[in-house]
Every structure is written in structure tokens, then in C-alpha cells.
Amino acid sequence: MFVKIVHQGGRVEIHDRPILAAELLSRNPKCCVAHPDVFHQPYAVVSPSTTLALGKKYYVVPVCTIARLQLKHSSSQPNDQKRNGRTRLPLAHADHWQPGLESIME
């Protein structure tokens, strides 16, 4: 059994032992470690102290993507602090990318 880590861009990292989420976060600044259902349930982010289990798949997702997903999800759902025992990432601490509008040609 392995821990499978999927990075943005599709790069896959395989570990033959359980690994702390904090280890991945230290190598991937401005990212979160999340369960595979994060794109449908944006509160599926694991805390840094979580041990990632053998036989499971996890995603390394940029904080700004998580914030966008949570914002989109919260507009259609009641606002809860925690869902399914998973940590909710506060939107106030997320970095938001904004395009330079002067570089867009019409």
C-alpha cells in the first residue's frame, strides 16, 4: 500500500509509509493538502498535523483555489465552521490572484 499525492499539473508523488501533511506543506508553500472530494466539498482540507494514511489519495491544492471553491460553495450552502470533521480554511487568510487588466487586449 502507498500514500498517493497528486500535485497541480498532474505530477504524482508516491510514499511507502504514512506521512504528515506538514511535510508536504513545508515543500509546497501557499498550498493545502486535501481529500479527493475537495472540488465538490471544499472543506475537505486536512490539518497539518494529520497523518496521511496508506491506501489513500490526497491532493496538494493552492490556497487561492480552495478559497475560490469555498466562496462558490458557501453562496449555495449554509455557512458552517466545520463540515464532516474536516478543517475549514478561513477565506480571510487566502491569497487572491487578480489579473493585470492593462495586459488584456480587447
| Domains defined for the chain, CATH in brackets | 3-95 (3.10.20)
Return the beta strands (E) in the chain as ranges: 3-6, 12-15, 19-20, 31-34, 51-52, 57-62
For residue 22, the model assigns a pLDDT of 94
Return d(Cα 85, Cα 104) in angstroms, integer: 42
| Arithmetic mean of pLDDT, 49-58 | 94
Return d(Cα 77, Cα 26) in angstroms, integer: 32
**Residue 39 pLDDT > 80, yes or no?**
yes
For residue 96, the model assigns a pLDDT of 42
Model confidence band, residue 86 (pLDDT cutoffs 50, 70, 90) = low
| Arithmetic mean of pLDDT, 57-67 | 91
Model confidence band, residue 33 (pLDDT cutoffs 50, 70, 90) = very high
Model confidence band, residue 97 (pLDDT cutoffs 50, 70, 90) = very low
Model confidence band, residue 90 (pLDDT cutoffs 50, 70, 90) = low
**Residue 56 pLDDT > 50, yes or no?**
yes
Rounded to 5 degrees, φ, ψ at 54 are -60, 145
Model confidence band, residue 43 (pLDDT cutoffs 50, 70, 90) = confident
Are 29 and 6 in contact, with CB atoms under 8 Å apart? no
How many separate helices (H) and strands (E) can be counted in the chain?
2, 6
